[in-house]
Amino acid sequence: MKTVNVSQITQNIKEMCIEANHYLAPDMDGALKNAADTEKSPLGKQILNQLQDNLQIAGSDMIPICQDTGMAVIFMEIGQDVHFEGGSLEDAINEGVRQGYVEGFLRKSVVKDPLIRENTRDNTPAIIHYEMTTGDNVTITVAPKGFGSENMSRVFMLKPADGIEGVKNAILTAVKDAGPNACPPMVVGVGIGGTFEKCALMAKKALTRPVNQHSDIPYVKEMEEELLDKINRTGIGPGGLGGTTTALAVNINTYPTHIAGLPVAVNICCHVNRHAVRTI
């Protein structure tokens, strides 16, 4: 049995909130640099080079890479042989977010009630997803999610008869409807199967998979590659101003589902697709 004081969780999440909002994850950094090299549109290439300049300035001057520093989404993968001490785990997670956003001078974008709209002033509460795993490690993924792209996300409750072509059409529809609003080049997270809420969670988690890693399932890998090509042929391009780089990756997760259903969720993220991962 491994004992973890929740103060460690707070400290790590504080640091990760600041890190994710100032520096791109290595996979995203490499993908954006490659996009700038391969973009065929002169205007698209100019925009991608401007995004590179923005990232360099953000890192050197410690300025957030985007003014929308997002709502903190936290994935906690907790080994079943871990024991937490020192207080509530959920309180510790939210305290880490609070410290990260207040002490890191990040924009506070969370309102206490969705209709009354009073700002909580510290970007809490976070959206927290827990998963129990084997072993005695705790893996934390912090993924600040801006709402320009979040608002463009969709859930489709398809019929089984719609099949794989129906799934592809749903994903392409979501991307085309998003257009420039998702701050392309985007990363497209997809969840197929499960239930209404399960497919949405899978789509969100798919955004945290490195953009240079495909699904282990052969037909899913083929679909990721096919859809990326089709999305980049839409001509939406960087900033929505035209070009050959509309998306950097399509990441698809699947799960068993009911005989009567075919749920599909599309969670789109902007060109920064912020995420930081640590294991304790």
- pLDDT at residue 30 in the model: 95
pLDDT, one tens digit per residue, over 71-80 is 999 999 999 9
pLDDT of residue 56: 93
Partner residues linked to 142 by β-bridges: 74, 276
Q: pLDDT (tens digit, 9 = 90+) per residue, 102-117?
A: 999 999 999 999 999 9
- pLDDT band of residue 61 (cuts 50, 70, 90) is very high
Q: For 137-152, what is the mean pLDDT?
A: 98
Strand ranges in the chain using DSSP code E only, listed in sequence order? 2-5, 71-79, 82-85, 127-133, 138-145, 154-158, 186-194, 247-257, 262-269, 276-279
Dihedral, 175, 178, 183, 187 alpha carbons, nearest 10: -30
**In DSSP terms, which residues pair with 127 in a beta bridge?**
73
Average pLDDT, the chain: 97
Tokens of 60: 């050197």
* pLDDT at residue 150, rounded to an integer: 98
Residue-level pLDDT at 216 = 97
What DSSP designation does 182 have? G
pLDDT band at 27 (very low <50, low <70, confident <90, very high): very high
Tokens of 43: 């205007």
Cis upstream peptide for 26 (omega within 30°):
no
